[in-house]
Structure 1
């Protein structure tokens, strides 16, 4: 399943659709692959519903979709979906974090490294496997839980 901005009846919304669904180039709606194929081959970029529309309705549908995609609501949803995707890719499940931390030697310490101009921990990303920091000033192992870098 994938998250997309699905335009249904001219209304955009964040929706979860199967991975193989394709966006109709005319309506902006995500539809099953069978609606774009003939004999297992992709033959068009618009779904069957819009393919079968009379010319004047086809043009009106395409124009309506262009207006929706330029609307503030659509752009707000696009930013929201991008933020959700970025947060998901910059984080990890708690179970994975606990498992990674339990694999470290007893007495180890963990940090989030920062470098670059205006480095700030809020920009740190978590990685699946903590990495040992070389050149630690501590007398015990130090592991990096993430890394923040702003190369300005």
Structure 2
């Protein structure tokens, strides 16, 4: 039996869906009109004044961000960096919510830090998201405390 190969995901559409999800989670408090600015609402989710989304919403955010990172071609360093930062934030939020889930030896924190590193490595130094990542770093250093 032959199966039809999976069609590639429309990563551009996924990025807009991810941006819509991020802005809905921050209550539209942060204006970001293009996926290139997705780092702004993502970072806002780490702020103490922003209510932590429920686990279902965070799981959806992780799924979308994962689909974007794994579906992207990686040709644009700035876009790649923003994509990885958004996934890092999503994984950190999930780590905070369930502190590893069913098995306490497994957490999302190492993956969050790995994607944060990938974001920092990919972004050009003068890109606006580079500053956002530096400002968000304390949240990753002490994941129990919001930045």
Q: Decide: shared fold, TM above 0.5.
A: no
Q: Which has the higher contact order (CA 8 A, sep 6+)?
A: 2
Question: Between Structure 1 and Structure 2, which shows a larger proportion of helix residues?
Answer: 2
Instruction: Give me the TM-score of the superposition, normalised by structure 1.
Output: 0.24
Higher strand share: 1
Structure with bigger gyration radius: 1
